[in-house]
Amino acid sequence: MAQLPLKDLLVLDLTAVVYGPYTTQILGDLGADVIKIEPLRGDDVRHITPTKEGGLSALFMGLNRNKRSICLDLKSESGKDALRHLCRRADFFVHNMRAAKIKALGFGYEYVKTLNPGIIYGELVGYGQNGPWADMPAYDDVIQGQSGLAGSFTARDGTPSLIPSIIADKTSALMAVSALQSALIQKLRTGVGGHVEVPMYE
């Protein structure tokens, strides 16, 4: 292709660990300008072994290519002001925090859309926000267990087992990329941004 399809679109990436970073990395692979916004200590995955150099673990490097990075203290007014400035010119705002946490920081969808009505807000969560587990944290192995995926091995092996890959995170990330791009198509047709929620469990 002469030009990647998401060229010149700005993605604010407030994600960590695997699910969110894999989602935004794919958007970057498709040409988007991704700014990874990390806390002052950096994404926790930076420090998971194996690592050849401090802060640049193999897992981190495998999930964050094609991105620029900035550290912001979102509990400080200066950090919040910097993020507000970025929100006003961004095309996507993507996070994988619990909904209560992002709202406590002051950047829930209802507020972010006041800064930029055309923004596509991606909320990559563990569980659907209308259900009883809405504010529960979720990790790949938890979702493999709760979804019944681990239990499906019982028929073959007599015991539950985890798939030896980060399959729930990665599968959910692929669904999130599809949903975010669908929201972009809708925006191109209507001029209206939107709120995309992609829960891992569901």
Instruction: Mark whether 169 is an active-site residue.
Output: yes
Q: What tokens appear for 2 in the block? A: 């002469």
CA distance 201 to 139: 10
Closest CA to 87 of 103, 72, 101, 107: 107
Concatenated DSSP letters of 53-65: STT-BHHHHTT-T
Closest CA to 21 of 69, 59, 66, 64: 64
Of the candidates 43, 91, 140, 169, the residue annotated as catalytic is 169
Percent helix / strand / coil, the chain, rounded to 5:
40, 15, 40
CA distance 101 to 86: 20
Contacts (Cβ under 8 Å, ≥6 apart) of 20: 13, 14, 94, 95, 96, 124, 173
Do 142 and 166 meet the contact criterion of CB atoms below 8 Å apart?
A: no
Do 194 and 184 meet the contact criterion of CB atoms below 8 Å apart?
A: no
Residues forming the active site: 169
